[in-house]
Chains A and B, each alone.
Chain A
Amino acid sequence: MKQIEVKKDILSAHDMLAQENRELFKRKGTFVLNLMSSPGAGKTTLIERTIELLKDTFSLGVIEGDIATSYDAERISTYGIKVVQINTGGACHLDSAMIKNAFTEFGADRLDALIIENVGNLVCPAEFNLGEDAKGYDPFGY
């Protein structure tokens, strides 16, 4: 029997992917916001109001994370904004690999800002960096 030292961060492989995303977003000149909160807090509503205020000034894109449905993506697409849906199929958070794939769906269009609506949950999403510039959350958990 032998003991071997590992001393490795469990999410190190994931954090490397997040770093790749961060470099990709920087190259493309896209500001990325990862919006997290509990279900019903108003994430989609906040995105709708933001689009109304900013869509004439900036080119915007939205990634909608949801366990199973595309209701929120349908809501956002009525504003004439490009939306990419990610259905996690049960997983309670978005990870960097999902974001990387989703980002390619915006194609050659240049985005000034990308808003990622994370899965409605305030526990798991907080542990997974997506390569974003900023995290948006409601500190009171409402």
Chain B
Amino acid sequence: MHEFSIAQSIMQIVLAEAERAEARKVLKVSLKIGDLTAVSPDSLSFCFELLAKGTIAEDSTLIIEKVPIMGYCPHCKKVFSIEDNQYLCQNCGNHKIELTTGRELQINHLEIEHETD
């Protein structure tokens, strides 16, 4: 259940950014979540919804873009996707690979409404 603390952090950032932009309402929150973070989107949306109640982000939509785990082999100079926890170069079997994506836990952008909208 680390989704709850992640949802709390999201809410803090969303409300601070919305206030800075003088928003009346937050409509959409778009996130990038890497597969390595083991975050369950359903559970995260549920926690977010609970925390949003009574704030300007109430009824906003959480859009989650999942980012697959990708690796880079410095030997073959190739990028490949990592599936079933196979942390090896699929070409040469090298295990000294670098992970290029998959650890993302990021707020991309918000859609907001102003007083005047």
Contacts and interface: CB of A to CB of B under 8 A. Distances in A.
Interface of A: 1-14, 90-93, 95, 123-124, 127-128
Contacts of B31: 10
Given A123-B2, A124-B2, A4 B109 contact: yes
Contacts of A123: 2, 38
Contacts of A3: 109-112
Interface residues of B, number: 26
Interface of B: 1-2, 4-6, 9-10, 12-13, 17, 21, 27, 31, 37-38, 105-114, 117
Nearest to B31: A10
Contacts, number: 74
Most chain B CB within 10 A, of A6, A92, A95, is at: A6
A4 B26 CA distance: 11
B113 A1 contact: yes
A12 B16 CA distance: 13
B6 A10 contact: yes
